[in-house]
């Protein structure tokens, strides 16, 4: 029987994961299937029982299950532990492993799109303090960022995130603040990352002025609808190097594909264009 993998979540209809994984199955000449399944919180446990009975080789986990699924994993990878969320599950022998590849996806995207972006990381600013920000703080620590500033609309959420990482005694100094504190840190920054939902459907930040951002700062967004968010457009207009968020989505999918189907897939221009044309249809 063909190996079967899935993405589960609710809602799930807009997931690009089936398009990505089925492209890789085809281009690598592999037999296998990857489908999207709408699973509610109430049905998660029942679904895990099906996974453990051997029906699937593994899959992706998206909202709202990224934290709930942890209790069903027999083992977590270091990334999943540090990020406290799981987006990919697979079997090692009979052991169900929970992994988190969001940080990997973030780094691999920048490595592909912005050569030597991490050569100097004295200061990084992250806008937002949700699940994606957590993965990115972890990723930037892996690249030895000296200082990571987490700025969020709700200060207490940024503070909790900073505290959680301080307790893990990473390499970076972590500071929490509000979005309006941007002006304090922006003049000496090497990378600015937006992880908030601002940018979706062309919404834009009104709290700050990009003119004060270091001229050599790289600006990247995890929002990819639209590809050129207002933040990226204004950064480009000021001469900043920018990287859009679609690459992170594509790259985070690769490690799971390798675990399920045995081949580490490539993130190509062809795949990127396929996903862009699909986005244009919706
Ligand atoms: P994700 O998993 O994608 O990170 P999330 O955990 O829901 O999603 O986090 C969303 C982030 O976007 C949060 O940092 C949120 O700020 P709050 O903690 O203040 O809610 C931020 N966010 C969402 N809408 C926002 C808005 N209109 N203005 C500023 N920040 C916003």
How much of the chain is helix, strand and coil, in % rounded to 5? 40, 20, 35
pLDDT value at residue 45? 97
pLDDT value at residue 27? 98
Catalytic residue among 66, 120, 259, 281: 66
Compute, in angstroms, the gap from residue 134 CA to the centroid of ligand 1. 12
Q: What angle do CA 253, 233, 151 make, to 5 degrees?
A: 70
Place of tokens 């990115």: 136
pLDDT in tens, the chain (282 residues): 789 999 999 999 999 999 999 999 999 999 999 999 999 999 999 999 999 999 999 999 999 999 999 999 999 999 999 999 999 999 999 999 999 999 999 999 999 999 999 999 999 999 999 999 999 999 999 999 999 999 999 999 999 999 999 887 778 999 999 999 999 999 999 999 999 999 998 999 987 789 999 999 999 999 999 999 999 999 999 999 999 999 999 999 999 999 999 999 999 999 999 999 999 987
pLDDT value at residue 207? 74
pLDDT value at residue 206? 84
Tokens of 101: 């590849």
Question: Within its chain, how far is the Cα of 7 from the centroid?
Answer: 15
User: Distance (Å, rounded) from C-alpha 162 to C-alpha 175?
Assistant: 6
User: Distance (Å, rounded) from C-alpha 79 to C-alpha 69?
Assistant: 15
What are the strands of the beta sheet with 242-243, ordered from one edge? 173-178, 147-152, 123-127, 191-194, 218-221, 242-243
Q: Is residue 14 within 8 Å of 38, Cβ to Cβ?
A: no
- The model carries a pTM of 0.96
Query: Which residue from 103, 126, 128, 202 has its CB within 8 A of the most atoms of ligand 1, so it is best to mutate?
Result: 128
Taking CA atoms only, the protein residue closest to ligand 1 atom 18 is 154
pLDDT value at residue 144? 95
Name the CA dihedral angle for 262, 24, 113, 101, rounded to a multiple of 10 degrees.
-50
pLDDT value at residue 168? 78
Taking CA atoms only, the protein residue closest to ligand 1 atom 22 is 196
User: Distance (Å, rounded) from C-alpha 265 to C-alpha 163?
Assistant: 36
């Amino acid at each position: 029987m063909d190996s079967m993998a899935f993405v589960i979540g609710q809602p799930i209809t807009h997931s690009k994961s089936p398009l990505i994984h089925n492209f890789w199955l085809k281009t690598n000449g592999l037999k296998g299937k990857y489908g999207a399944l709408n699973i509610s919180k109430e049905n998660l446990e029942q679904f895990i029982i099906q996974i453990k009975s051997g029906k699937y080789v593994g899959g992706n986990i998206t909202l709202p299950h990224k934290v709930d699924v942890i209790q069903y994993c027999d083992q977590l990878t270091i990334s999943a532990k540090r990020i406290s969320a799981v987006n990919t599950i697979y079997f090692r022998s009979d052991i169900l492993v929970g992994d988190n590849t969001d940080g990997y996806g973030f780094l691999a995207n920048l490595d592909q799109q912005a050569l030597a972006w991490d050569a100097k990381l004295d200061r990084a600013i992250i806008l937002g303090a949700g699940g994606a920000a957590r993965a990115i703080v972890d990723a930037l620590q892996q690249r030895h960022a000296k200082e990571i500033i987490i700025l969020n609309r709700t200060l207490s959420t940024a503070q909790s995130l900073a505290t959680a990482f301080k307790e893990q005694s990473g390499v970076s100094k972590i500071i929490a603040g509000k979005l309006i504190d941007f002006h304090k840190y922006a003049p000496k920054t090497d990378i600015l990352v937006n992880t908030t939902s601002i940018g979706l459907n062309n919404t834009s930040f009104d709290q700050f002025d990009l003119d004060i951002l270091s001229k050599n700062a790289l600006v990247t967004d995890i929002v990819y609808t639209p590809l050129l968010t207002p933040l990226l457009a204004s950064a480009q207009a000021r001469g900043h190097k920018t990287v859009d968020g679609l690459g992170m989505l594509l790259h985070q999918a690769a490690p799971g594909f390798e675990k399920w189907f045995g081949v580490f897939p490539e993130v190509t221009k062809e795949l990127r264009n396929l996903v862009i044309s699909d986005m244009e249809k919706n």
